[in-house]
């Protein structure tokens, strides 16, 4: 694969994350019924209604913590030449949250990240601070690590653990982040979608063994089961299956698995996959962001709706090209 193709897929992963995030912004933390009531059949970017519990009134195309924290991780990776120093990471996350408060936004640090940073502040070591982190926070912001790291499993898992253990040092948190990173990194390298998601299953299984065990449905077998199950479903039954059986909460074993299920079922229709994610209820911005990163890596920027990605870039003053170049330099170093 040419350097231009590699860059296009890497940029596609980051833009796919941002697009999914922006599509899910108006519906995050709402029920499926409330989404249908306020937005009808959401099929594109739209303004958040005033009844939105986290981002009321935000304009169409606005991203949330998923994209903003991914950009934060990307910059720390580039500055640290591939390594994120835990205390610098903690300071950057706290500064990010303080900026959210100043902007009068309710999109703050997630429960696992918040708890880990409080532990760190009280003197707990970075390796111990994330021992309760089982949510999807590490997975939602892992795409820069995937861009910066080739899909070879050992170095990829080293990079995932290094970027995630401060806040999500559990078998569920690391496995979820490893699955996303593997699928995205393999896609950037030119793997077809099935091969990339097979690689994700392997990464999740091995990643889980690198962190303290946490109770809950394990990520790798749940992704394997979900991928197989959704292949038998039609477009009418898919939404209920994902929302009601797989789940879309902040728990890593729900939302991250839901993203893989949608990528499996609608992998050749990225916009349909992402708008469906936005209609499912729950942690819609993260489900759509993770799914968008996986499909963006597979299809590249040309496989995403360029009119919508242009809106997301403009609304958020988001220039991902330079960030991606810095991450790709790390990938080739």
Extract the annotated binding site.
Answer: 64-66, 283, 285-286
Extract the annotated binding site for Mg(2+).
Answer: 64-66, 283, 285-286
Give backbone dihedrals phi and psi of 258, rounded to 5 degrees, phi first. Answer: -60, -40
Helix (H, G, I), strand (E, B) or coil at 135: strand
The two three-digit tokens of residue 291, written as one number: 């799914």
> Distance between CA atoms of 71 and 76, rounded to whole angstroms?
9
**Number of neighbours of residue 180 by Cβ within 10 angstroms:** 34
> Distance between CA atoms of 139 and 233, rounded to whole angstroms?
26
- DSSP per-residue codes, 228-289: HHHTT--TTTHHHIIIIII--SSBHHHHHHHHHHHHHHSTT-HHHHHHHHHHS-BSHHHHHH
């Amino acid at each position: 694969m040419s350097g231009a193709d590699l860059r296009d897929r890497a940029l596609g992963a980051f833009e796919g994350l941002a697009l999914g995030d922006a599509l899910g912004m108006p519906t995050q933390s709402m029920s499926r019924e409330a989404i249908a009531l306020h937005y009808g059949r959401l099929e594109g970017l739209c303004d958040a209604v005033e009844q939105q519990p986290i981002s009321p009134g935000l304009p169409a195309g606005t991203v949330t913590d998923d994209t903003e924290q991914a950009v934060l991780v990307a910059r720390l990776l580039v500055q640290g030449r591939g390594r994120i120093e835990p205390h610098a990471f903690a300071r950057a996350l706290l500064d990010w949250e303080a900026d959210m408060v100043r902007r009068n936004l309710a999109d703050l640090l997630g429960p696992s990240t918040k708890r880990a940073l409080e532990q760190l502040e009280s003197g707990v070591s970075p390796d111990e601070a994330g021992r309760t982190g089982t949510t999807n926070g590490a997975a939602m912001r892992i795409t820069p690590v995937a861009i910066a790291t080739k899909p070879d499993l050992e170095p990829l898992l080293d990079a995932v653990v290094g970027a995630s253990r401060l806040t999500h040092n559990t078998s569920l948190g690391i496995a979820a982040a490893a699955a996303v990173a593997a699928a995205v990194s393999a896609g950037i390298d030119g793997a077809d979608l099935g091969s990339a998601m097979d690689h994700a299953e392997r990464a999740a299984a091995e990643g889980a063994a690198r962190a303290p065990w946490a109770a809950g449905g394990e990520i790798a077998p749940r992704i394997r089961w979900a991928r197989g199950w959704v292949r038998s479903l039609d477009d009418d039954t898919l939404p209920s299956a994902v929302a009601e059986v797989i789940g879309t909460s902040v728990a890593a074993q729900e939302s991250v698995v839901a993203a893989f299920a949608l990528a499996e079922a609608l992998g050749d229709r990225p916009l349909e996959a992402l708008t469906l994610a936005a209609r499912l209820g729950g942690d819609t911005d993260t489900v759509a962001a993770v799914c968008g990163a996986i499909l963006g890596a597979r299809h590249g920027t040309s496989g995403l709706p360029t009119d919508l990605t242009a809106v997301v870039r403009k609304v958020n003053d988001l220039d991902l090209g330079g960030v991606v170049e810095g991450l790709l330099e790390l990938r080739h170093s």
